[in-house]
Amino acid sequence: FLSLKVENKTKGRLQKQICQVVLDHFEKQYTAELGDKWTSVRDVLTCPSCWQYAILLNKFSQSAELENTLRVEGYHPAFQGTLPYLPRSLKCYISRTPRRFPAQKHQTGKLKEYYLLNAASVLPVLALEVKDGEDVLDLCAAPGGKSITILQCAYPGQFHCNEYDDLRSRWLKQTMESFIPDPLVNLITVSKLDGRQIGDFKPELYDKVLVDAPCSNDRSWLFSSDTQQAKFRLIQRKELSSLQFQLLRSAIKALRPGGSLVYSTCTLSKAENSDVINLILKSCTNVMPVDISEMAKAVSQEFTFLSDTQQHELLVLPEKGKAWGPMYVAKLRKI
């Protein structure tokens, strides 16, 4: 049985160098957008030793021993109580202190017992509320964490996982093979289509669509490997909201009337979050916002949210002891 002693990776994480170009950019933008809250968020984002990792258990490779060990080690369920949607099969454990279990290596023919992730990554899946038998599209699915979280919750009728980038698509396939048993893997479609065109290829085919969009990943961008890469990323950043808007338009076309869509990013940027959703709501007359404030209320003990968001959206702000996020989530329904 895998030793569950925490690996001491702090030293390696502390050796990461903060990219001053990106930090200066964030300082200016997020001070304007978040005000005083930016200071505490910045303190977490620039301190990898503060970062926390949740443990998503794999129901297809259950281990009572692992669950018992987690509880003994001081871990507790991240999601409990009166959530609007919380399948019993979804088990995600967190600890108040920053520590990390060793990641399990991919072994052909052997399922992993757990997946390490940012606990806020589960929130888009909880907002999507997938039920057994529903047809589901994960439009930008790599590396696969949200796809396997969906499968911990329910058995979709057809499950289509799409990833346009070739390298990331291979990563997605490997994640699926590591967590999902053969009979079920064979029922999952993994494609490499341009997400902006899926709505035209597959109109009104899905009950639920997740758009976990490409975004300016605040955590990783702060540690860009060199200044040139950082400058290039910041130029690219201006174009991301246009791509995100196009992906959402495509997702809406792929949705059946009455179907639901969840949009998520791992950035704090207003331009990539609420601005994109507001533009969609203005330009698409066949979608309406869906209130997800009850879900946010139910998990407010474990997550810190930006207070002045609308009822159909939430933004998780990292803080010490609750270092989850950034994660933006918004929910829409097709009329």
User: Is 259 annotated among the ligand-binding residues?
Assistant: no
Residue percentage of the chain with pLDDT more than 90: 85
Rg (Cα) of the chain, in Å, rounded?
Answer: 19
For the segment 10-31, the average pLDDT, to the nearest whole number, is: 80
Cβ atoms 123, 92 nearer than 8 A:
no
Tell me the C-alpha distance between 76 and 95, whole Å. 6
Whether 185 has a pLDDT exceeding 90, the answer reads no
Q: Is the pLDDT of residue 7 over 70?
A: no
Q: Is 105 marked as a binding-site residue?
A: no
Q: Is the pLDDT of residue 100 over 90?
A: no
Indicate whether 67 belongs to any domain: no
Strand partners, 70: none
Is the residue at 95 inside a domain? Answer: no
| 195 falls within a domain | yes
Whole-angstrom Cα distance, residue 132 to residue 108?
28
Residue 16 in marked binding region: no
Instruction: Give the number of other Cβ atoms within 10 Å of residue 112's Cβ.
Output: 19
C-alpha distance from residue 288 to each of 105, 186, 258 (Å): 42, 34, 10
User: How would residue 63 be classed by pLDDT, with cut points 50, 70 and 90?
Assistant: confident
What pLDDT score was predicted for residue 64?
84
Residue 275 is assigned to a ligand binding site: no
Residue 7 falls inside a structural domain = no
224-236 pLDDT, tens per residue? 888 898 999 999 9
Of 67, 110, 73, 112, which Cα lies nearest the Cα of 92?
67
Q: Is 212 annotated as a binding residue?
A: yes
User: Quick one: average pLDDT of 117-131?
Assistant: 98
Annotated binding-site residue? 218: no
Domain assignment present for 5? no
78 is in an annotated binding site: no
Known binder of ligand: residue 27? no
In a domain, 221, yes or no: yes
Q: What average pLDDT does the segment 98-125 reach? A: 92
Does residue 69 lie in a domain region? Answer: no
Ligand-binding annotation for 142, yes or no, is yes
Active-site amino acid positions: 266
Is 112 one of the annotated binding-site residues?
no
Enclosing domain of residue 202: 20-47+120-334
Does 66 map to a domain?
A: no
Residue 15 clears pLDDT 80, i.e. is over it: no
Cβ atoms of 318 and 116 within 8 Å: the answer is no
pLDDT at 3 > cutoff 90: no
Q: What is the pLDDT of residues 267-311, one digit of tens each?
A: 999 999 999 999 999 999 999 999 999 999 999 999 999 998 999
Which of 123, 125, 134, 133 lies closest to 256 in space, CA to CA?
Answer: 134
Q: Give the total number of structural domains in the chain.
A: 1
191 touches 162 (CB < 8 A): yes
What integer pLDDT is reported at residue 5 of this predicted model? 40
Provide the CATH number for the domain around residue 26: 3.40.50.150
